[in-house]
């Protein structure tokens, strides 16, 4: 005896696959036509024992009703679908809303400041036109000393200068506050360098400073490595190389593993006692570290940009990639 | 500085591959920037930090390798067997012992001219020094070996029998070895004979007394010059040399004699002089040895790790210090070549460096909470960035140093802060506003065939201050729009207008939750006449916006319309409210009415709106302009303006009669005041 339930499932499955009217009609004839499967089953009923005929007849009628309804519904949905399909082109492009983008330098600054904000550093701001005192003297860089060679500087007619480093903010902050201090100071700095693919007379730095009663060189290593892992991924390798800055001691250049070698990424060190003295702190009582990094350099690494000049040309083809 | 590996091996027992040695140097603080293989030698290009002038020599570098690796170290020979007497004599004196504390010289008579020995030539060339003749090469060789610059004079060209190290007479001239005549000032040091200068002290010798291959007798000078004086002179004359480079960083005072004797030794060996004099000298080498006491606890306080006294002592001894241990401290005496070591912190760095930075563990500090200061400008900047980008503006960053020629044409040059040493002659003024950067970015992109430009920049403007006080720096927001509209298959392209920028400015101000925003027509010269407005918050002028005038666009070479706004973030921050005050939601329905008026062309929409507000008071909760039309049926000199007015009361549902009465009285009043008429075709277009 034919399994009517299986047949019903078979009809449903086949209907679901139908995509056009012609196929639907063929299928309808196959099942519901004068010589279709359902008609055959009515003939088959005659061969059954008498007592089974009424139940089978009932079920067969139910199946026939089911099939007729299903074919009708499919017919309707197919008609609607085809009508709609001809009138509406869902493949036309969407209308892009006009939303601007932040400059990659700003994005890089945000990324870095966020990491330090989460470690309890405060974001502060500083002047760009400064005095000798804040850019040099207080940072332990004496006049007529070769250590100034690293800081070629623009001077103004009034005898001021454009800060050549964001370290000026260290001094301004410490002058006005008492420890503990944790600050991060992003901003523009200026050096009279000839402009080429890796030099610009204006660029951005971020200065960090932590001063309290106990933070050590070993803590500096921990914080910097934590920062670099957040910025470049958790597998980043780091090394501290001895270096010299007049305003920190010990001073280091920090390298990260990059490709097959090492790449200098920032400068850091324990704040030099001379700097604490310049701002009226007692170097025997307070200690801490400072670090400085070039934003363009980090953005160039992160995004694979080869020419620093692109940041300041502001070509929309460039801006709209970030 | 270039350092030869073969040369180093004369003084330090050094094994390992060039890569290993390069890494050893770098991790000691001698940052190797490049490694060159030259014939059978390896040359390291090393960045030498200014605190370590003692590294500006092969002996210095070798000594450091000894310190970091304990490899055995020895100095080259310098004692000669020859008797020290010569037939010629010279008197050496110093006029100003500040500028030249120590001057010494030796006479070598009857030298023989041979070729410079091969090893010497090779090493000099590998280190980037041109070989000249046996005597000059020898002095250069000792310079690179000991780090002490020497100078050899042709003794017979020196006039008289006295050499004096003295300040130059103002305006005095010398023809130097490079063939250039330099004019000297009284802060320069010269070496002079009885006729005049024969050398610029520590920088370059004179042409007349130069040693050449016919020289028979030489005077070999070795001296100590005041570092800052050499630096000033070398910079003023733009005359840097291997010699001035070392003197301005301070040479080892004890090296003055050692290097001279080493040169005498080498000259005796290769030029075989007949007679060598004793040393003529004046002054004293300013040898400084510092006594520094370093306590155990101080090492731990700074580094975070303890290093035992005995270990610290061995590090410092390898660096050439004399060290003894007393209780929990080290008592040290620094050698003459380490004038950079003056304080306990200097020793801590040395100990950490030799211990190895890589061996110091990474820890995280315990951070106490800090009462963070509010920084309203930085906060507002971030808010403005997010508003501007959500309004479709791309952020740009441009130079704060701008073109003087442009500012002159705009008549801003006089108020601007001027640089005395610009990198580029044209770019010498600090921007007095953000226009230059924005306009030039627009120009550049139009040139690249971009026609839909919406830019903003946040940055400082600078203004001169009186009495040589620091200039004013003010954080500004600049907006610039130049757009022909966007191509879209769905809508018609529409060029940006003054009203787009006006809408943006007002939307930004509204979002900052400011009190009493007021716009007043502006006659600022940047803008097209009548197409600009000043923005006031609580009576304070915080900026302006408008259509850039054709004249200004021409100055920036932009031939498309540009709408420009500039607002002071610092002033905005002063007025920005901290909290939002919630208004109860309306309880009663509003009754909108549309009103189309034919008014004279020169009547401003604001006048009508203000009158409606006056008449309706609190009942007109919203007044919008939804149509503006000229031409067609509208007669010349007139325009049609359509308003939608939402009438609503806080305490009751407004009845139709009340609204209509008010609405018609408004129409009457507008007709009275401004001659506003309803369109002829329809009586009213009131809707509900």
Write out pLDDT tens, residues B158-174. 999 999 999 999 999 99
Mark yes or no for CB contact A106/B464 under 8 Å. Answer: no
A130 and A257 share a domain? yes
Mark yes or no for CB contact A240/B305 under 8 Å. Answer: no
Taking only the tens place, the pLDDT of each residue in B434-457 is 999 999 999 999 999 999 999 999
A142 and A77 share a domain? no
Residue with the larger pLDDT of the pair A206 and B468: A206
**Residue A261: closest CA among chain B residues belongs to which residue?**
B23
Q: Is A223 on the interface with B (CB under 8 A)?
A: yes
pLDDT value at residue B277: 95
Q: Which of residues 231-260 of B touch A (CB under 8 A)?
A: 231-232, 248-249
Q: Is B348 on the interface with A (CB under 8 A)?
A: yes
Of B358, B363, B420, nearest to A218 by CB-CB distance is B363
Domain that holds residue A24: 4-87
For chain B, give the number of residues.
Answer: 688
Residue (of B608, B578, B614) closest to B595 by Cα position: B608
In chain A, what residues touch B489 (CB-CB under 8 Å)?
A: 92-93
Residue pairs between chains A and B whose CB atoms are closer than 8 Å? 245
Mean pLDDT over residues B68-81, rounded? 92
Q: Is B362 on the interface with A (CB under 8 A)?
A: yes
| pLDDT for B214 beyond 50 | yes
Residue A96 included in any domain: no
Q: Is A252 on the interface with B (CB under 8 A)?
A: yes
A274 and A130 share a domain? yes
Residue with the larger pLDDT of the pair B263 and A85: B263
A109 and A64 share a domain? no
Q: Is B192 helix (H, G, I), strand (E, B) or coil?
A: strand
A156 and A229 share a domain? yes
Q: Where residue B681 falls among pLDDT bands split at 50, 70, 90? A: low
Rounded Cα distance, B86 and B81, in Å: 15
Taking only the tens place, the pLDDT of each residue in B289-324 is 999 999 999 999 999 999 999 999 999 999 999 999
Taking only the tens place, the pLDDT of each residue in A21-43 is 888 888 888 888 888 888 888 88
DSSP string of A65-113, one letter each residue: HHHHHHHHHHHHHHHHHHHHHHH--TTSPP---------HHHHHHHHHH
Mean pLDDT over residues A298-322, rounded? 96
Residue with the larger pLDDT of the pair A150 and B545: B545
Q: Is A158 on the interface with B (CB under 8 A)?
A: yes
pLDDT value at residue A35: 85
Query: Which of B251, B299, B349 best probes binding to A when mutated, by most A CB atoms within 10 angstroms?
Result: B349
Q: Where residue A79 falls among pLDDT bands split at 50, 70, 90? A: confident
Distance from CA of B508 to the nearest CA of A (A): 15
Residue A34 included in any domain: yes
Distance from CA of A165 to the nearest CA of B (A): 16
CA distance between the termini of chain A: 69
A145 and A115 share a domain? yes
pLDDT value at residue B624: 95
pLDDT value at residue A1: 61
Beta-sheet strands, E only, within chain A: 122-123, 129-130, 161-162, 181-190, 202-212, 238-245, 248-258, 261-271, 287-294
A70 and A108 share a domain? no
Task: Tell me the CB-side half-sphere exposure of residue B253, using CA atoms within 13 A.
Answer: 16
Q: Is A218 on the interface with B (CB under 8 A)?
A: yes
Mean pLDDT over residues A189-204, rounded? 94
Taking only the tens place, the pLDDT of each residue in B548-592 is 999 999 999 999 999 999 999 999 999 887 678 888 898 999 999
Buried-state track B150-167, b at ≥16 Cβ within 10 A, e below 16: bbbbbbebbeeeebbbbb
pLDDT value at residue A3: 79
Residue B124 burial by Cβ neighbours in a 10 Å radius (0-12, 13-18, 19+)? buried
Mark yes or no for CB contact B343/A273 under 8 Å. Answer: yes
Of B28, B227, B460, nearest to A128 by CB-CB distance is B460
Residue A282 included in any domain: yes
Work out how many domains chain A is built from and give that number: 2
Q: Kindly report the average pLDDT of chain A as a whole number.
A: 91
All structural domains of chain B, each given as residue ranges with its CATH number in brackets, are: 2-69 (3.30.56.10), 91-283 (3.50.40.10), 293-330+341-359 (3.30.56.10), 376-575 (3.30.930.10), 591-674 (3.30.70.380)
Q: Is B445 on the interface with A (CB under 8 A)?
A: yes
pLDDT value at residue A57: 85
Q: Which of residues 261-280 of A touch B (CB under 8 A)?
A: 270, 272-273
A179 and A81 share a domain? no
A112 and A221 share a domain? yes
Of A156, A158, A249, nearest to B349 by CB-CB distance is A249
Taking only the tens place, the pLDDT of each residue in B20-32 is 999 999 999 999 9
| pLDDT for A15 beyond 90 | no
Mean pLDDT over residues A137-155, rounded? 84
**Residue B232: closest CA among chain A residues belongs to which residue?**
A144
Taking only the tens place, the pLDDT of each residue in B239-284 is 989 999 999 999 999 999 999 999 999 999 999 999 999 999 999 9
Mark yes or no for CB contact B363/A102 under 8 Å. Answer: no
In chain B, what residues touch A201 (CB-CB under 8 Å)?
A: 399, 401, 423-424, 427
pLDDT above 90 covers what percent of chain B? 88
pLDDT value at residue B121: 96
**Residue B303: closest CA among chain A residues belongs to which residue?**
A217
Mark yes or no for CB contact A122/B370 under 8 Å. Answer: yes
pLDDT value at residue A85: 65
Q: Please calculate the CA angle B602-B636-B641 and round it to the nearest 5 degrees.
A: 55
Residue (of B433, B432, B429, B434) closest to B403 by Cα position: B429
Q: Where residue B467 falls among pLDDT bands split at 50, 70, 90? A: confident
In chain B, what residues touch A183 (CB-CB under 8 Å)?
A: none
Buried-state track B327-337, b at ≥16 Cβ within 10 A, e below 16: eebbebebbbb
pLDDT value at residue B687: 44
Q: Is A113 on the interface with B (CB under 8 A)?
A: no
pLDDT value at residue B688: 40
| pLDDT for B389 beyond 80 | yes
Q: Is B370 on the interface with A (CB under 8 A)?
A: yes
pLDDT value at residue B667: 94
pLDDT value at residue A285: 95
A225 and A161 share a domain? yes
Mean pLDDT over residues B228-249, rounded? 93
Residue A99 included in any domain: no
The rounded radius of gyration (Å) of the Cα atoms in chain B is: 40
A177 and A297 share a domain? yes
Rounded Cα distance, B280 and B153, in Å: 14
The CATH number assigned to the domain holding A168 equals: 3.30.930.10
Mean pLDDT over residues A227-239, rounded? 95
| pLDDT for B684 beyond 60 | no
């Amino acid at each position: 005896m034919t399994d009517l339930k299986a047949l019903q499932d078979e009809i449903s499955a086949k209907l679901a696959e139908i995509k056009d009217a012609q196929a639907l009609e063929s299928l309808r004839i196959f099942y519901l036509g004068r010589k279709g499967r359902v008609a055959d089953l009515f003939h088959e009923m005659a061969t059954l024992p008498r007592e089974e005929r009424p139940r089978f007849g009932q079920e067969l009628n139910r199946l026939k009703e089911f099939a007729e309804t299903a074919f009708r519904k499919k017919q309707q949905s197919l008609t609607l679908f085809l009508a709609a399909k001809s009138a509406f082109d869902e493949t036309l492009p969407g209308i892009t809303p006009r939303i601007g983008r932040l400059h990659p330098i700003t994005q890089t600054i945000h990324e870095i400041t966020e990491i330090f904000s989460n470690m309890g550093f405060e974001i502060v701001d500083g002047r760009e036109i400064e005095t000798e005192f804040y850019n040099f003297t207080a940072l332990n860089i004496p006049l007529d000393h070769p250590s100034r060679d690293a800081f070629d500087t623009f001077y103004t007619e009034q005898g001021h200068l454009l800060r050549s480093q964001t370290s000026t903010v260290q001094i301004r902050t410490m002058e006005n506050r008492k420890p503990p201090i944790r600050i991060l100071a992003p901003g523009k700095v200026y050096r009279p360098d000839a402009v080429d693919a890796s030099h610009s007379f204006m660029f951005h730095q971020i200065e960090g400073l932590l001063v309290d009663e106990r933070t050590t060189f070993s803590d500096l290593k921990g914080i910097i490595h934590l920062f670099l892992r957040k910025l470049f991924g958790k597998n980043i390798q780091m090394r501290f190389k001895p270096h010299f800055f007049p305003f920190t001691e010990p001073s280091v250049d920090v390298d990260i593993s990059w490709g097959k070698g090492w790449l200098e990424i920032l400068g850091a060190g324990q704040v030099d006692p001379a700097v604490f003295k310049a701002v009226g702190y007692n170097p025997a009582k307070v200690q801490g570290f400072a670090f400085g990094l070039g934003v363009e350099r980090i953005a160039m690494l992160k995004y694979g940009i080869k020419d620093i000049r692109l940041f300041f040309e502001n070509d929309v083809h460039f801006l709209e990639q970030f | 500085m270039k350092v030869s590996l073969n040369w180093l091996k004369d003084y330090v027992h050094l094994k390992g591959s060039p890569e290993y040695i390069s890494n050893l140097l770098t991790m000691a603080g001698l940052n190797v920037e490049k490694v060159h293989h030259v014939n059978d030698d390896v040359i390291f290009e090393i960045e030498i930090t200014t605190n370590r002038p003692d590294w500006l020599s092969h002996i210095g570098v070798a000594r450091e390798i000894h310190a970091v690796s304990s490899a055995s170290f020895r100095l080259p020979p310098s004692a000669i067997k020859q008797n020290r007497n010569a037939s010629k004599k010279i008197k050496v004196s110093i006029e100003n012992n500040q500028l030249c504390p120590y001057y010494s010289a030796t006479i070598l008579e009857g030298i023989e001219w041979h070729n410079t020995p091969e090893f010497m030539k090779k090493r000099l060339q590998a280190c980037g020094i041109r070989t000249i003749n046996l005597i000059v090469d020898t002095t250069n060789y000792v310079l690179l070996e000991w780090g002490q610059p020497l100078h050899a004079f042709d003794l017979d060209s020196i006039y008289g029998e006295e050499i004096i190290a003295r300040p130059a007479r103002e305006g005095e001239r010398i023809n130097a070895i490079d063939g250039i005549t330099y004019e000297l000032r009284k802060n320069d040091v010269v070496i002079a004979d009885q006729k005049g200068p024969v050398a610029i002290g520590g920088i370059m010798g004179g042409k007349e007394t130069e040693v050449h291959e016919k020289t028979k007798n030489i005077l070999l000078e070795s001296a100590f010059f005041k570092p800052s004086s050499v630096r000033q002179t070398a910079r003023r004359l733009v005359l840097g040399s291997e010699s001035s480079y070392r003197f301005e960083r301070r040479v080892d005072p004890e090296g003055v004699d050692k290097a001279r004797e080493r040169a005498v030794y080498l000259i005796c060996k290769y030029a075989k002089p007949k007679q060598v004099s004793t040393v003529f000298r004046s002054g004293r080498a300013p040898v400084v040895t510092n006594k520094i006491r370093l306590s155990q606890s101080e090492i731990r306080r700074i580094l975070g790790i303890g290093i035992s006294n005995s270990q610290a002592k061995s590090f410092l001894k390898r660096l050439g210090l004399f060290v003894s241990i007393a209780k929990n401290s080290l008592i040290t005496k620094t050698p003459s070549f380490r004038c950079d070591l003056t304080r306990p912190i200097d020793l801590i760095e040395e100990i950490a460096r030799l211990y190895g930075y890589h061996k110091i563990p990474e820890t995280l500090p315990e951070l106490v909470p800090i009462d963070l200061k509010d920084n309203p400008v930085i906060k507002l900047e971030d808010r403005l960035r997010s508003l501007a980008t959500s309004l479709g503006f791309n952020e740009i960053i441009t130079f704060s140093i701008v073109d003087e020629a442009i500012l002159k044409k705009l008549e801003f040059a006089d108020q601007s802060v001027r640089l005395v040493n610009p990198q580029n002659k044209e770019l010498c003024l600090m921007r007095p506003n953000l226009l230059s950067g924005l306009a030039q970015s627009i120009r550049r992109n139009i040139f690249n065939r971009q026609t839909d430009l919406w830019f903003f920049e946040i940055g400082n403007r600078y203004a001169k201050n009186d009495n040589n006080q620091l200039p004013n720096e003010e954080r500004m927001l600049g907006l610039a729009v130049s757009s022909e509209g966007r191509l879209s298959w769905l809508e018609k392209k529409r060029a940006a207008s003054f009203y787009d920028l006006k809408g943006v400015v007002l939307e930004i101000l509204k979002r900052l939750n400011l009190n009493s925003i007021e716009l007043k027509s502006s006659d600022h010269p940047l803008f097209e006449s009548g197409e600009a407005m000043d923005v006031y918050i609580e009576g304070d002028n915080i900026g302006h916006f408008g259509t850039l005038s054709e004249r200004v666009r021409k100055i920036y070479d932009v031939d498309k319309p540009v709408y420009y706004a500039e607002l002071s973030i610092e002033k905005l921050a002063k007025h920005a409210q901290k909290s939002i005050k919630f208004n109860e939601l309306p309880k009663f329905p509003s009754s909108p009415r549309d009103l189309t008026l034919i008014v004279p062309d020169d009547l401003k929409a604001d006048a009508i709106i203000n009158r409606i507000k006056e008449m309706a008071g609190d009942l007109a909760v919203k007044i919008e302009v939804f149509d503006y039309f000229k031409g067609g049926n509208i007669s010349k000199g007139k325009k049609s303006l359509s308003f939608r007015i939402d009438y609503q009361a806080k305490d009751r549902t407004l009845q139709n009669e009340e609204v209509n009465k008010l609405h018609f009285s408004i129409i009457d009043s507008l007709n009275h005041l401004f001659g506003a008429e309803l369109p002829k075709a329809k009586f009213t277009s009131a809707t509900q």
